[in-house]
Chain A
């Protein structure tokens, strides 16, 4: 079968989407962007390939008589375990590196003590995460390896001797970057077999029909017929020029594919905000991008999360619990941090401060939207920041306030719009 690949190498996340010959998405992959773009691309692409195999397996099994087997549940369970095994392999690689670096410490007494501590905590680092993967509470599409590992690791070392805390943090910092930038290949068939072993007893894993279809899928070639790379780092992708396309066009095309009536697309990514006007064919008619300053983009949220010692994922839900929005007037990320601390000193609820910060981001984005010609008709919000429910809330409010009641689209796949657009462009090339 013909498949097409789109890669969106963003400043914060790298995304991959695989579509079939009909333009249907069959696989999605995402990872955090790191200094080695090739590795980030490879991971996102591998994830999308694995996800595609599961989608195709699902399609095949759906057409088979299922008897008493619930294919949906079975494949879901299998993919969850598959994700866990990928995580586990990376986990051991990182742990080895941490041990290796601990052994290299010049102070041998310290080194021995640290190794003892690491041995003590190592098993606990994996068990809780394993349960979350297997229950489907988390997946590699929703969480990144480094975040999962560091959360567990920091939690574990906090309960140990405080005298070694800084050294243990430094060991993690020293180890994560080289490990993250290493190429690590997984064999789908091998991991799938291992994942089957982890399935519950009654999961019909020995069902002949299931085995036969899985083997067919394992042997399928996932070589794309064509591919296109886009995003902020597109020039750094190991692709030839004809396989590179502007993210403006790709985002517009992706948004149009989901919502053909959309005429204005707002994309807020890690360091870019883009206001794009499109015609009824998904072709861009004009666009505006933020210049020189990335305040109001995803990185701003990351900075605020760091300032408040919480994860980026917690920002939106907290802001949704506000009583009102504290007035944040700064349009600079760093100064907004100062305003945040001032409010905290004054005893303001952090929910209200966060609500104010979220509103400030949206106000900035709307200034850009106004420059691009405003919201002309159905409006689609895309990019990583559109996963934040508080931002979505203020975007919806401001569209209505400024442009009236218009249809507003925000799809769970919105972070993949650029990669989807890229895949669609590649599928349409002659």
Chain B
């Protein structure tokens, strides 16, 4: 089944194809490559050095969607990685061991620099330690982002990050790229990012409408988010979001639901907010479990992993280095638990959600911790029905369709019951004993 395509989707496909083409041609063009992670990514900085970014976790999820992850994970497990290790890591390592062929079938170039922005996920550090063994020639830049323990961005933390950027990260990029750092060029890119961020938030906030014109989870990661991470700081990225916003506004004006693989979703019945990444190996099946029941995601935390712009933060050239530091500090994964709960609460309220769901990730030891606390806290604060399911990122062995469906059926019926139940005289008789 082919997903219904809109202009933005066609543009996205084109942009990604072009980028992978560029990556496959670095030997000829001489462009340098930085491997980095989505949370806390310094995409503008990479582009300011005319380098190309590669995101290992995006490669993993692409492999998952293309049904390649099982093989890659097995490859990594053969090498000695345990079943409990994050499946993004194993999939990425396995892909590299099998020749590093990217989603378009072209080979990905080896990294010239491994840029680790450490934003909360402790696996990242180990992941890059392993990549360093695979690519011993790559330069390493470690940007340590202090966790928001106090719940706010401390000035000392910003200074600490700025110092690392100036003293370590930027000089290493200069060394690898052979180019002098140009702060004006970075500033231009950051200003373009701010434009894309405004548009992105306008798109996310369109979920305030009923029916919601977007699915902020499946649609969020399928066509709203990917461009943002990979192309932030580029004109093309701003163009993409202008096009997407036009389409979203059209849906709002015509009271249309989001686009699913089977066309516009009709009969919106449940408005959900979700915590946790989606499963990638059964992405469409998983999505179908929701839209078939009239469930739309009006908010998701996973689409904020690459940056949170809901509370007003924007990149900018006024103080470029500080702007990058504050961006890294504010990523969803770098926020403490109460902050994350507050953010989800704001989504539930802002987007008028009537259910909260956690999709816990079996192989994630970093962020699956705390999800039950989030769930219970929100249930108490908002008296909102909550649900909990478990899948995995890209390990298909952990996707049990019948178990997930069974739990979701109960979850939807619970929501239905809560929506339709009129508390009154029709309470059940207390005594049913004969």
By a beta-carbon cutoff of 8 Å, the part of chain A in contact with chain B is 19, 22-26, 55, 232, 245-249, 253, 256-258, 260, 281-289, 291-292, 371, 373, 420, 424, 428
Question: Which B239-286 residues have a C-beta within 8 angstroms of A?
Answer: none
Complex interface: chain A residues within 8 A of B430 (CB): 257, 260
Tell me which of B205-213, B306-314, B327-335, B417-425 binds A: B417-425
Indicate if the CB atoms of A281 and B379 lie closer than 8 Å.
no
Are A284 and B433 in touch, CB under 8 angstroms? Answer: no
A sample of 10 inter-chain contacts (CB < 8 A) reads: A24-B431, A246-B410, A249-B413, A253-B428, A257-B428, A285-B414, A286-B388, A287-B414, A292-B390, A424-B432
B375 and A286 contacting across the interface, CB-CB below 8 Å: yes
Output the least CB separation between A271 and chain B (Å): 11
Docked Cα-Cα span, A289 to B417, in Å, equals 19
Expressed in whole angstroms, the Cα–Cα distance for A85 and B398 within the complex equals 49
Q: Which residue of B lies closest to A282 (CB)?
A: B428
Residue of B whose beta carbon sits closest to that of A28: B434
Residues of chain A within 8 A (CB-CB) of B418 are 283
Q: Using known A-B contacts A284-B417, A291-B403, A292-B403, determine if residue A428 contacts B426 with beta carbons closer than 8 Å.
A: yes
Closest to B400 in A: A292
Contact yes or no, B429 A22, CB < 8 A: yes
Are A24 and B432 in contact, CB atoms less than 8 angstroms apart?
A: yes
Q: Is the CB of B379 within 8 A of A24?
A: no
* Residue contact B428 to A283, C-beta cutoff 8 Å: no
Determine how close the nearest CB of chain A comes to the CB of B158; give it in whole angstroms.
Answer: 38
A-B pairs, top 9 by smallest CB distance, nearest first, are A246-B410, A248-B410, A23-B429, A246-B413, A284-B414, A257-B432, A286-B386, A260-B430, A291-B390
Determine the interface band of chain B, counting residues with CB < 8 A from chain A: 20 to 34
Question: What's the least CB distance linking A293 to chain B, in Å?
Answer: 11
Contacts of B390 in A (CB 8 A): 291-292
B382 to chain A, nearest CB (A): 12
CB neighbours (8 Å) of B386 from chain A are 285-286
Question: Taking chain A's interface residues, is the majority helix, strand, or loop, or is none over half, making it mixed?
Answer: mixed
CA distance in complex: A41, B98 (Å):
52
Q: Is the beta-carbon distance between A285 and B428 smaller than 8 angstroms?
A: no
The 0/1 profile, CB within 8 Å of A marked 1, for residues 381-416 of chain B is: 000011110100000001010010011011001100
Whether the Cβ atoms of A249 and B417 lie closer than 8 Å is yes
B413 touches A281 (CB 8 A): no
* Minimal Cβ-Cβ distance residue in A for B384: A285
Interface pair B413/A25, CB less than 8 Å apart: no
A289: chain B residues within 8 A (beta carbon): 403, 406-407
Contact of A285 with B409 in the complex, beta carbons under 8 Å: no
Residues of A within 8 Å of B175, CB to CB, are: none
In B307-343, which residues have CB < 8 Å from any A CB?
none
Whether the Cβ atoms of A55 and B410 lie closer than 8 Å is no
7 more contacts with CB within 8 A, not counting A287-B414, A291-B403, A371-B372, are A55-B434, A248-B414, A253-B428, A260-B430, A285-B386, A286-B385, A424-B432
Q: A23-B428, A249-B413 are in contact. Are A286 and B379 (CB under 8 A)?
A: yes
* Chain A hits for B431, CB < 8 A: 24
In the complex, A61 Cα to B17 Cα: how many Å?
82
Is the CB–CB distance between A245 and B421 below 8 Å?
no
Residues of B within 8 A of A287 (CB): 387, 410, 414
**CB proximity of B247 to chain A, nearest CB, Å:** 34
Asked whether B413 lies within 8 Å of A245 as measured between CB atoms, the reply is yes
Smallest CB separation, A75 vs chain B (Å): 13
Whether B376 sits at the interface, judged by CB under 8 Å, is yes
B387 and A25: CB pair below 8 A? no
- Distance (Å) between the CB of B88 and the closest chain A CB? 20
A19 to B429, CA, bound (A): 12
